[in-house]
Amino acid sequence: MFGSSENLVIVTGSHVAIATTRGRAVRSFASQQREPNADVVMAVEAALSLAPSRLGKIWLLVTDVWSQPITIAADVARRIPAGRLAQFVCFEVEPLSGIAPPQGAAGVVSLPTTGRDPSFWVTEIDRTLLEQLSSLIESRGGKLAGLLHPAGAPQPILQPTQGQRQWQRIELWPDAVVCLAGTIGRAASRRVFSLNELDWERDAGTWFGVQLAAHSRGDAASEPSLEVLTAGFGQLPTIAQGPRATVVSLDDAAQLQAWAGAWAGQLTVKDVVPIVTLPKPPMSARSKTFATAGLAAALLAICVSHYQFASQSNRQTVSKAQTETDLLTERQTRMQETVKEVNELRADQAKLQASQAKLVEEVALFKAATADQKKRIPELLKTLAEACSEQVLVHKIESDGRNIRVRGRCVAGQQADQLAEAIARKFAPYGLAVSLPDKQALKAQSDGGPHEFTFIISEAPARNAP
């Protein structure tokens, strides 16, 4: 009824702990501070030393892994063969995790998609490190059930107030932000943000608002409190502050135990969080060679000493060996096809990303050009108003869509030059040039004045690189 016992080995940046659970209850808990220079293997070993009794099934919850949301182009995602998603994402996240695809072991779960392209939550660790952790656990009498980043516990950490069944939580990790909302007794909704997303806080606020509208009864009493889980995040963002917020810090041992209770009985639920398991290691090429050589030697000995008696058995053994060889050849062919498919998918995705980047650049250039166009006439009128005096009159401004022609009259000819120079200085940042004024003396006065003038504002010629 209550399920078998499980051990949660917890490793954060500041603490190591082990919790023994049965069903959804924590039966025992022990923790200590993590040594400053301890790597993940040393930290797990320290946590195992806190176990009160012999070990059984072990779940590793460690922050020393790469765990991020990713988005894959829909056209690429549709071409990923069934059952190959974890292999594909190892190639996809290599530039981010720094783990070579053959050395990576990954867990993947789908996330709600907000657009056309599907999103996934990926946790990855170096396969050799995972094998080392598994061997360490086995040497202590335990068995590794799975490894995961400790983000995303699907239950509330704190006890809700009386009559309140809704709960919300934002988890602030050094490399990601996880938002959860739900109703007690039901599956929780979740959203994962990378800290590389510039608008993650705005999007998280929108998401919480949608969840609140979906789950609340429409009155203030139904508005749930917001758990704010921190683990070395630093200063709290605005979304994690306010009267609804209650901070839970994993740097505090008592709150770490309460948080472990939120994981009790949840790790066997499918597709809650990405869990990495240790795959069965394939036979090495050297082992296959030795096995084939040994089999051949055995067959030869039987043929020499018991040819008459065992001829039928020999034929069956040879047939079995051929079948196994064919299976190995088929597996190798499938692996080559998988690598080819992944390379093609990556090439397709690179083309899509290049096209998208080019489009974004063109849109930015268009917006900048449009903004400049909108500013030109108001700036021109403002400059004319500032530069003109009682002796300078602008009586006509014309535009043919490309150039702006300014006509006017001034008492002295140099006043037209001064006006053109002022406008040229003002419009240089917009990539515009002003021609020398074309002046015509009306000779109504002894000095030849007044003067009619005309000058043209046009696009400045592009400068050649030196």
Q: 139 with 8, same domain? A: yes
Q: 302 with 323, same domain? A: yes
Q: 69 with 117, same domain? A: yes
Say what the pLDDT of residue 309 is: 36
Q: Kindly report which listed range (109-123, 378-392, 401-415, 438-452) carries the lowest average pLDDT score.
A: 378-392
Q: 303 with 234, same domain? A: no
Distance separating alpha carbons of residues 433 and 427, to the nearest angstrom: 7
* Averaged pLDDT of the chain: 83
The answer as to whether 380 is a domain residue is no
Answer whether residue 14 shows pLDDT above 80: yes
**Which token pair is 386?**
């500032």
Answer whether residue 283 shows pLDDT above 70: no
Q: 63 with 19, same domain? A: yes
Confidence of residue 407 (pLDDT cuts 50, 70, 90): very high
Distance separating alpha carbons of residues 80 and 88, to the nearest angstrom: 8
Over the stretch 340-384, which tens digit does the pLDDT of each residue have? 888 888 898 898 889 888 888 888 887 776 776 677 677 777 777
* Amino acid occupying residue 106: A
The answer as to whether 236 is a domain residue is yes
The answer as to whether 376 is a domain residue is no
Percent of the chain topping pLDDT 70: 87
> At 182, which CATH number?
3.30.420.40
Q: 21 with 113, same domain? A: yes
Distance separating alpha carbons of residues 201 and 209, to the nearest angstrom: 12
Q: 95 with 10, same domain? A: yes
Q: 129 with 268, same domain? A: yes
Q: 451 with 338, same domain? A: no
Could you tell me which of 223, 227, 209, 203 has the C-alpha nearest to residue 153?
A: 227
Give the range of the structural domain holding residue 311, as residue numbers without chain letter.
Answer: 285-358
The predicted model gives 286-294 an average pLDDT of 52
Over the stretch 325-334, which tens digit does the pLDDT of each residue have? 887 888 888 8
Count of the separate structural domains present in the chain: 4
The answer as to whether 465 is a domain residue is no
The answer as to whether 13 is a domain residue is yes
Q: 317 with 194, same domain? A: no
The answer as to whether 373 is a domain residue is no
Say what the pLDDT of residue 282 is: 54
Phi and psi at residue 131, in whole multiples of 5°?
A: -65, -35
pTM, whole model, 2 decimals?
A: 0.59
Q: 262 with 324, same domain? A: no
> At 448, which CATH number?
3.30.1360.10
Q: 91 with 108, same domain? A: yes
The answer as to whether 395 is a domain residue is yes
* Amino acid occupying residue 308: Q
The answer as to whether 323 is a domain residue is yes
Answer whether residue 304 shows pLDDT above 90: no
Over the stretch 230-244, which tens digit does the pLDDT of each residue have? 877 778 888 888 888
